[in-house]
Amino acid sequence: MCGIVGYVGPELCAELVVDGLRRLEYRGYDSAGLAVVDGDGQLLTRRAEGKLSNLVKRLAESPIDGRTGMGHTRWATHGAPTEDNAHPHRSGSVAVVHNGIIENHVELKAELRALGHVFQSETDTEVIAHLIDHNRTADGLALPEAVRQAVLRLHGAYSIVVIDAATPGVIVGARVASPLVLGLGQGANYLASDVAAILAHTRDMVFIEDGWMAVLTPDAVDVRVVATNEAPRWEKTTVSWSPAMAEKGGYKHFMLKEIHEQPRAIADTLRGRVSLERKTVDLPEIPITADDLARLRQFYIVGCGTAWHAGLVGRYLFEDLAGLAPHVEVASELRYRNAPMDDRTLILAISQSGETADTLAALREAKRRGARVISVCNVIGSSIPRECEGTLYTHAGPEIGVASTKAFTTQLAAVHLLALKFGQLLGRLDDATMVAELTALMHVPTVIEAELAKEANYLEIARAWHECTSMLYLGRGNLFPMALEGALKLKEISYIHAEGYAAGEMKHGPIALIDERLPTVVLNPRDAHFQKVRSNLAEVKARGGPVLVVATEGDTEAPGLADFTLTLPAVPEHVLPLIAAVPMQLIAYYMADFKGTDVDQPRNLAKSVTVE
């Protein structure tokens, strides 16, 4: 997720803004930039690809400063991570920084080009600068109204901050479904995407609500509702967080923060790709046609660790929705096998970082043998997308915790979209099924928000079981991969040995382990496998094993069969893994936190495995 810092006040602000950006480095980024209105009323910008230190070096070589300014760290979503695509973007006297996605930027860009505007970047952000500049120059609007009118035309989820050399001493921000906070100072005011950026200067914050904008001068703040231009009631919040806590948004660990970011991340991954009106999925970045799919002989999904689990869920989706039967392979194994591959083979590589060494090697070998290669990835411009014909980017934003959470669930959402697209291309989905699937997917963020409100249940489980040395996770159907994922999460961060099993395989070995010292997590919602898994649960209890059952809300029998019960709402089966991911993550998190392990940086693990 991008970082934004804005300032208006009596101080020269370049150093202050860069320091704020430095406090946002934990969020991850691929370029950085700064814009100021200097003492002569000129708009000056400096940008640099890569780390913030490159921008600092650029500023040392070619200094700029002023008393109105803003800075940005970019996590690429539209356009490669280059200096040309780095923020701020400008048009005339207007400069803009932006966090989020503008869904209708293509249409707006075409309209503005027809009016004579020339674009310098591949980004959606530059459209905002040109639109505001047009409102200023062609329509003669003052800066606040020019921004408001521009925001009314933008579709998507975003926050923006704007300065204008023609209006020195003013900075304008607006929020639509992407965080923006206003800092109240003494003779100075601030805007930022995160409290951490400005906490060194003020603890008095106004958390801008969705659909609001704010106009700041050194001595005043004017907050407005964008749609009506009316002044809403707003409250000042005095933040007591330490700077370290602020980086984590007040959460104890990055992992917990990222678990709570999943509704937003999933919504961002779906945004602009789902059309209920047209009953379709729009994935222009994936150049696979109906003819390509019809001539396939082999289809492989490739990943490592959590990404492999996303691929396992994908297998059920492609089978059910597209009539395709992919082989789901661990990349470190596939790369050394002589699996059949040729020009009628499709590879889907899944990777959060886009740099996973084994996945990269496997897809390179597949390409060498003539296979077509596409990917699901979270990092624009990383190695795996560069090797692929097309990439479906997730919009999880930077993930700091080593144990993947929001990157995993956005992978599930992206693979679901791809399965729907393939099913539609092959003529295997009718309109009613497509609408039902899309509706279920779009409802997932709301459902997860409700699940995250139940966190108090997990502390009791952790208190009871944190001293165990081993655990078993059982699931059937598309929840079998979630049993694997739950076990992996527990191993990664709590250092408790855990195994995930297909529930039907319990009698083929694992049942010998069951006793009063081995807790078992049973994924048993009311799905197609409900009765079968309920029988497996009873077999564990009959042997004295402690049980945590994940059941459907309203299942009155479940609490009497288990030591602990967690409930999920009744949802369509294809989105059950997305919902079930949350308790799998929270069980692991609270067990690890209760034990006192290093949740964000567990021993012996790295975020991205870039060596074999």
Q: Which two tokens stand for residue 270?
A: 């779906």
Residue 2 annotated to the active site: yes
Pairing of strands 327-330, 298-303: parallel
Nearest to 573 by CA among 238, 205, 321: 321
Cis peptide before 88 (omega within 30 of 0): yes
Count of Cβ atoms closer than 10 Å to residue 569 Cβ: 14
Residue 347 in contact with residue 327, Cβ under 8 Å? no
Q: What is the phi/psi pair of residue 189, to 5°?
A: -140, 160
Token pair 């997917």 is at which residue? 441
Q: Which two tokens stand for residue 148?
A: 């408001």
Q: Which two tokens stand for residue 578?
A: 């997305």
Kindly name the residue from 257, 406, 491, 607 that is annotated as catalytic: 607
Residues 282, 102, 145: CA angle, nearest 5 degrees: 145
Count of Cβ atoms closer than 10 Å to residue 430 Cβ: 12
Residues 6 or more apart from 523 whose CB is under 8 A from it?
473, 474, 475, 476, 479, 482, 483, 486, 533, 550, 580
Nearest to 126 by CA among 45, 64, 60, 54: 45
CA distances (Å), 58 to each of 55, 106, 116, in order? 5, 32, 31
d(CA 391, CA 385): 6
DSSP tag of 46: E
Q: Which two tokens stand for residue 502?
A: 């297909």
DSSP state string for 182-223:
EEE-SS-EEEESSGGGTTTT-SEEEEPPTTEEEEE-SS-EEE
d(CA 427, CA 322): 8
Residue-wise over 193-229: b if at least 16 C-beta within 10 A, else e?
bbbbbbbebbbebbbbeebbbbbbbbeeeebbebeee
State which amino acid sits at residue 362: A
Kindly name the residue from 2, 13, 304, 377 that is annotated as catalytic: 2
Count of Cβ atoms closer than 10 Å to residue 501 Cβ: 22
Count of Cβ atoms closer than 10 Å to residue 4 Cβ: 31
d(CA 50, CA 585): 32
Token pair 């290093």 is at which residue? 598
For the chain, the helix, strand and coil percentages under 3-state DSSP, each to the nearest 5: 40, 20, 40
Residue 607 annotated to the active site: yes
Q: Where are the alpha helices (DSSP H) in 426-479?
A: 431-452, 456-465
Residue 178 in contact with residue 191, Cβ under 8 Å? no
- The sign of the torsion formed by the CA atoms of 586, 313, 385, 604 equals positive
Q: Which two tokens stand for residue 142?
A: 């003052």
- Catalytic residue list: 2, 607
